[in-house]
Amino acid sequence: MISTLAPAYAVENAASGRDGSCPSAAAAKTAVTVVRGDGIGPEIMEATLRLLEAAQAGLDLRQVEMGKAVYERGHSAGIEPSAWDSIRQTGVLLKGPITTPQGGGYKSLNVTLRKTLGLYANVRPCVAYDPFVASRFPGMDVVIVRENEEDTYAGIEHRQTAEVTQCLKLISRPGCERIVRYAFEYAKAYGRKKVSCFTKDNIMKATDGLFHKVFDEIAPQYPDIENEHWIIDIGAARLADTPNDFDVIVTPNLYGDILSDIAAQITGSVGLGGSANIGPTAAMFEAIHGSAPTIAGQDVANPSGLILAAVQMLTHVGKPEVAERVHNAWLRTIEDGVHTPDVYDGSVSRQRVGTQAFADALAERLGESPKKLAPASYAGRKPLDLPATQPAAKPKKELVGVDVFIDWDRPGRKPEMLAIFLQSAAQHLGMKLKMITNRGVKVWPEGLPETFCTDHWRCRFVALDGGPVTHGQVTALLGRIARQGLDFIKTEHLCTFDGQPGYSMGQGE
């Protein structure tokens, strides 16, 4: 969708003389699309925009609407074409949280935005502000770089049988390369010392295995940055227990979603976290929290997450000096004990303020720096300049079999009986039934009676001679299976790539 259109900020940055070309146009404003959002969104956005104005950020704000109201006007995705046009023109979106209907209605707008705009890198700094905001981990400063487009978030789900539903987990090599490289380039640009990769490749050897493999390929290209890999379960436990052992963490989408909330929470409050969603031609900036409907309209919400997201936005659009001023004023406000109710603590806080008064306190401190917390410094900071990913050489692909998934619910669910039907279906086709699994556990041949079986069977067929098979053999097999009265629900082809199996092996293979 977004292909050739140059983001407006790039053009305006050139016009403003930041590239040294046209100092006379230095007053040109940077166009930013703004979505106020739902729940507390409008009030925290109001506070943030007033602050940006006070900071003379030089932004040309273009407000668009998204979410429930748009959905109710008949736009099934919750976004109007004019909103897409605005984002494509500006290339920058500052967004308030949006309520996602649960269990029905339109798809998550956040996921739609990230994926449609190709915002592949979700960057969430998780910083503790102890002693001004109580945290069990003083000094915590971890950045989670979450892959933002792939994994189970493709949203490809199917109910396949009466008992079984499925969600596809898609991981691509270019997707891994982009996010891993982004994490290392981020670490380099921000003076970070270590990048840790979290996956579950001991179980998901193909998908998470690819992510880990790409990490191992790219890491040596950054010899000054330490690298390590953690299995996600123990890695997450360590992050929750000793977060100061980590610096930058790069991880697939679902793990990143969960980990970044945990990491933000243990800094002291999710209300303080901002995030950047970065793509090649567009970027979106938002607080990490949601629309908090129960406190909406009460002027108690903490606008800090959105303000810190705006700080990330300012560096992204080439306004590092404004970003630094806003961030340092924010640190000073926190340090001065001017706190919203979510972080107010009588033992350290001095003034309990509402959303708008917090923004006013911050505006009063523009130009000041924190005295105890480390001041922010963005001098010379530019958007990361990532090399384009090179397409990998195409491996030789060969079809060597097929997994046929069958919905079968005969009394007793005896796999031996299913195997008789399937063996007969494969006869004279040059193929044979190799195994049947149920929820991944081999139940034929040599299954155990103790294994619990659902109505969802994976039946693996390979060539009689162990060699390649043709698509014609596969379709003939499916025809025979259907004529046996069996309900096949999907197939997965078994392919080798340069002779290496591109599929998980069943037990005992």
Nearest-approach distance from CB 472 to ligand NAD, in angstroms: 47
Under rule CB under 6 A, residue 253 binds ligand NAD: no
Nearer to ligand NAD, 227 or 291 (CB): 291
Kindly tell me which residue out of 28, 51, 126, 301 binds ligand NAD, with binding defined by CB under 6 A. Answer: 301
Encoded tokens for 241: 């227990």
Show the binding pattern over residues 333-372: x = contacts ligand NAD (CB under 6 A), - = does not: ---------x------------------------------
Closest to 136 in 3D by CA, of 262, 247, 288, 241:
241
Contact, 43 vs 97, CB < 8 A?
no
Instruction: Write down the residue that tokens 């793990």 correspond to.
Output: 255
In angstroms, what is the minimal distance from the CB of 314 to ligand NAD?
A: 20
Q: Which of residues 77-106 bind ligand NAD (CB under 6 A)?
A: 97-100
Q: Which two tokens stand for residue 489?
A: 């629900």
Amino acid identity of 137? F
Which two structure tokens, joined as six digits, stand for 159? 């109910």
Among 290, 337, 383, 501, binds ligand NAD (CB under 6 A): 290
Give min distance, CB of 118 to ligand NAD, in A.
18
125 lies in the site for ligand NAD, by CB under 6 A: no
How many C-alpha atoms does 306 have within 13 Å on its Cβ side? 31
Q: How far is the CB of 94 from ligand NAD (least distance, A)?
A: 12
Asked if 289 is part of the footprint of ligand NAD (rule: CB under 6 A), the reply reads: yes
Provide the phi-psi class of 141: left if phi over 0, else alpha when psi is between -120 and 50, else beta.
beta
Q: What tokens were used for 413? A: 């669910």
Interface with ligand NAD (CB under 6 A), residue from 305, 370, 415, 447: 305
Report, in Å, the least distance between residue 330 CB and ligand NAD: 14
d(CA 69, CA 376): 38
Q: Is 292 in the site for ligand NAD (CB under 6 A)?
A: yes
Measured from the CB atom, is 275 or 369 closer to ligand NAD? 275
Nearer to ligand NAD, 182 or 358 (CB): 358
Of residues 84, 101, 92, 96, the one with CA closest to residue 119:
92
Q: Which two tokens stand for residue 256?
A: 């990143």
- Choose between 305 and 415: whose C-beta lies nearer to ligand NAD: 305
Q: Which is nearer to ligand NAD, 265 or 377 (CB)?
A: 265
| Minimum CB distance to ligand NAD smaller for 134 or for 231 | 134
CB within 8 Å of 102: residues ≥ 6 apart: none
Distance in angstroms between the alpha carbons of the first and the last residue of the chain: 44
Three-state DSSP state, 430:
coil
> Residue with CB nearest ligand NAD?
290
Helix, strand, coil fractions of the chain, as percent rounded to 5: 35, 20, 40
In the sheet that holds 487-497, the strands lie side by side as 441-444, 431-438, 456-463, 397-407, 487-497, 500-501
- CA pair distance 287, 261, nearest whole angstrom: 11
CA distances from 385 to 188, 219, 427 (A): 11, 17, 58
Instruction: Identify which of residues 218 and 296 has a Cβ nearer to ligand NAD in the complex.
Output: 296
Residue 256 interacting with ligand NAD (CB under 6 A) = no
Residue 271 contacts ligand NAD per CB under 6 A: yes
Instruction: Determine, following the binding rule CB under 6 A, whether residue 110 of this chain makes contact with ligand NAD.
Output: yes
Binding part of the chain for ligand NAD, among 153-161, 171-179, 297-305, 308-316 by CB under 6 A, reads: 297-305
Q: Which residues bind ligand NAD (CB under 6 A)?
A: 40, 97-100, 110, 270-271, 286, 289-292, 294-295, 301-302, 305, 342
